[in-house]
Amino acid sequence: MPLYNVTLKKDSPPEALDKAKDDAVKSGGTIKHEYTLIKGFTVEYPDDSVGTLEANEHIHVEQDGEVRIQ
């Protein structure tokens, strides 16, 4: 399953992040890391179910990937 980075959008209520974590786990995801400097988490999530997370207006969802510097 792919990894997704989920972050709380600016001016969103803090409880929206808790709801996103609950929703992710309920629909088959596994929280892999919770961030402390930013309000967010990384979740291993079924690719065909990511729409559940993306439907939440308070969070931003981005597939995790390799970062390179040239």
pLDDT tens figures, 12-67: 999 999 999 999 999 899 999 999 899 999 999 887 888 888 889 999 999 987 77
Domain boundaries, the chain: 3-62
pLDDT of residue 36: 86
pLDDT attached to residue 1: 83
Predicted local confidence at residue 8, as pLDDT? 95
Distance from the first to the final alpha carbon of the chain? 28
User: What are the start-end ranges of the E strands in the chain?
Assistant: 3-8, 30-34, 40-44, 59-63
| Residues, the chain | 70
The answer to whether 14 touches 39, Cβ cutoff 8 Å, is yes
Q: Which fold has domain 3-62?
A: Alpha-Beta Plaits (3.30.70)
pLDDT tens profile 9-21: 999 999 999 999 9
